Chain A
């Protein structure tokens, strides 16, 4: 008997018992749907994080305070802070560096007339534009003079300006930040969020002003910054820059109490984390696939027992053991592969919903679909073997007598 006949026969048998067939498939359907959804979600998260990291720019290094030792001590020993003087030293003493932007920030209410909004108040320097590749939409950005004079000037993030001024021209107006009046000198171009920071919703003031008027002096070593971003002369000089900065800061601080990260190292770390996450999600979901396979085996075993007479009759009229084996195997494979397909469709549509409702660009990868359907078919084959062999080995005489 050829394969198409076996296939038709198996399909007919399954169709004759639709309720049972669909219930049998349920486990595989759920297993596949969860695998597809989980892997899609993991990949979506990965893409999201990568996108965020890539928006940092390829030449940028981040210097953040903290050391391995203090981390391991559970943060008992407070690391020496990075200060504005560190940033100035890097700018003047490291030749492979183009621009250096120290940053510190705090939360606060920004108000214009009777409109208030909570916002991030970022203190930085003129190099911020270069390092983070921002453009000024209207007016100007902060200048070295602003830093020296602790000027009360502010550059507004695009969306914040929109919200606060509602179409009015912001330039030349005055806003209050934590009760202090600032002159609006510029508005930044819109850029979207990167690494969870959304400068579109922030206000930028001179870092010296932030220290002297808003957060106060918090470090004995100078004006504290939360991190320093540095842009190297070129992508090739990244390693040199990192080396030179490390040396300089070691000398200044007397130890390794800082980290230097580039977009690449951040990407690497993120890839490892999200990759592990995806793998873990897939592994958990795969368990339900295996459970689904066991469900198929279970129902098939019951089915063999129930269909003893049918099997005996088929043998009496000329079916060989192989014919019976193949028929039951195909039934198992149809159930699991079809379940796999339905589950995949289900998982894919749930991912579609997720990508609409969340910032994740969660996608269904063809590889995930192929693997899921292939694995389901394999599971059907694997778990179908035991019942199919039991059916094939039935003694037709005993089977026919079991009326």
Chain B
């Protein structure tokens, strides 16, 4: 099976001269469709930069990034927006729900940009919310929901356009232990249905639940395919 995500000698450099930062430096790696993996590493190691790259929010400074067979570096802004809309779902640490919209409308938003009619939108948004266990809270606004519930709304929003990939940057960073478990169960479930899931996390317990851990350090992949069992001994990396 061809790779869903492939970095080839990819670098991302911010600034120039004295202030130059090599956020990613000559990274090569690949993730296949259906994988469930996490990215770990110290603060500033380039994890979020890699996620933004994977999510087509950014373009490489040099090297190539292929997503679903397409060379992202060659695509225009509108094409990238289209890929983000149809093939990728984002989940953020801070949820990023729009406060003036209900849960249903928040989840509908990606379908608005996909040009789906409002009747279909409402039906599918309600379905997605039911899938994450919020079938009873369709018409609540974010400030009427707990952190865990808000993150589940965000996950519903990420899956509603049936993406190939879910990208989650520290999705459990703002959640307590119990809600973290609930949210991770949802990711596991989605992965079981065939969606590729990639997440950044600082918590070994969270990474342990995924099937593959990619370690970053100083903008480079330090270690890939480390078995979750080895995690505890290498915790000093974080």
Contacts and interface: CB of A to CB of B under 8 A. Distances in A.
A58 interface: no
Give the interface size class of chain A: 20 to 34
> Which of A1, A16, A17, A396 is the most central at the interface, judged by chain B CB atoms within 10 Å of its CB?
A396
Contact of B57 (A314, A316, A320, A322): A316
A322 B113 CA distance: 11
Contact of A315 (B81, B98, B114, B161): B81
Interface stretch (B30-38, B86-94, B125-133): B86-94
A400 B92 contact: yes
Interface stretch (A5-13, A233-241, A270-278): A5-13
B86 A320 contact: no
Interface residues of B, number: 26
From DSSP, what is the main secondary structure of chain A's interface residues? helix
Contacts of A323: 81, 113
A319 B115 contact: no
Contact of B86 (A1, A16, A318, A321): A318
A397 interface: yes
Contacts of A312: 96
B230 interface: no
B84 A317 contact: yes
A134 to B, nearest CB: 72
Interface string B151-176: 00000010001000000000000000
Contacts of A316: 55, 57, 84, 90, 96
B98 A320 contact: no
Contacts of B161: 318
A317 B100 contact: no
A166 interface: no
A344 interface: no
Interface string A300-328: 00000000011011111111111100000
B92 A318 contact: no
Interface in A303-358: 309-310, 312-323
Interface of B: 52, 55, 57-58, 77-78, 81-82, 84-86, 90, 92, 94, 96, 98, 100-101, 109-110, 112-115, 157, 161
Per CB-CB distance, the 5 closest pairs between chain A and chain B, nearest first, are A318-B85, A16-B100, A320-B81, A318-B113, A317-B110
Given A5-B112, A396-B57, 20 more contacts: A2-B115, A12-B100, A13-B100, A309-B96, A315-B57, A316-B55, A316-B57, A316-B90, A317-B109, A317-B110, A318-B82, A318-B84, A318-B86, A319-B81, A320-B77, A320-B81, A323-B81, A323-B113, A397-B57, A403-B94
Interface of A: 1-2, 5, 9, 12-13, 16-17, 309-310, 312-323, 396-397, 400, 403
22 contacts: A1-B115, A5-B115, A12-B100, A312-B96, A313-B98, A315-B84, A316-B84, A316-B90, A317-B90, A317-B109, A317-B110, A318-B82, A318-B85, A318-B161, A319-B85, A320-B77, A320-B81, A320-B113, A321-B78, A323-B113, A397-B57, A400-B96
